[in-house]
Structure 1
Amino acid sequence: MVVLAGIQEGKDAIVEEGGIVALVEAIEDGSVKGKEFAVLTLLQLCVESVRNQGLLVSEGGIPPLVALSQTGSVRAKHKMITRN
């Protein structure tokens, strides 16, 4: 999904199909690797998109991201901070 989120058509498809909700759920309940990919994908979806940022907030995505920043793997934390 992270590759699809790198192009506009992919971003649109992910968002239209409820991908933000699924990614938030992956951050809450997924494996360590799943959480890392979810963070990367959300970054791709939300960078330069106020609409997607708003959807992330309205879908309750901020509390799980904050929790992950405090308890997640070093790699996931690094991805959230550096966007790489």
Structure 2
Amino acid sequence: MVVLSNLAAIPEGKTAIVEGGIAVLVEAIEDGLVKGKEFAVLMLLQQCADSVRNRGLLVREGGIPPLVALSQTSTTAVR
């Protein structure tokens, strides 16, 4: 996840991550360890903050329910 976080900081990396990566990040939020969930949330934030397209992908990949559940049950760092 750290490597993905570093990739998300550059335009080429963002493109690579979005092409299939959003589903992986949603899965990490659903099934990952706490640290992995933290990184996945940060990655999704970076990918979706300025992109309507990426927000749409997040919705289509089913990312909203796990994010809501995480916000209600997880540590402060993850929220």
After TM superposition, the score normalised by the length of structure 2 is 0.93
Once the two structures are superposed, residues 35-63 of structure 1 have per-residue CA deviations (whole angstroms, 9 ceiling, x without a partner) of 00000000011111000000000000000
In structure 1, which of residues 23, 27, 30 is the aligned counterpart of residue 29 of structure 2? Answer: 27
Displacement, 1:4? Answer: 0.8
The two structures, once aligned, show a CA RMSD in angstroms of: 0.6
After the TM superposition, list the runs of 4 or more consecutive aligned residues in structure 1 that deviate by more than 6 angstroms: none
Query: 3-state DSSP class of the match of 2:68?
Result: helix
CA distance in 2, matches of 1:47, 1:55: 13
Q: Which one of 59, 70, 73 corresponds to residue 72 of structure 2?
A: 70
Tell me how far 1:3 sits from its aligned partner.
1.4
Unaligned runs of 5+ in 2: none
Measure the CA separation in 1 of the matches of 2:74 and 2:9: 24
Is 1:46 matched up with 2:48?
yes
Aligned to 2:77, what secondary structure does the other structure show?
helix
1:9 aligns with 2:31: no
Q: Indicate the residue corresponding to 2:63 in structure 1.
A: 61
TM-score between both structures, scaled by the size of structure 1: 0.87
Paired-residue identity, %? 72
- The alpha-carbon deviation at position 15 of structure 1 amounts to 1.1
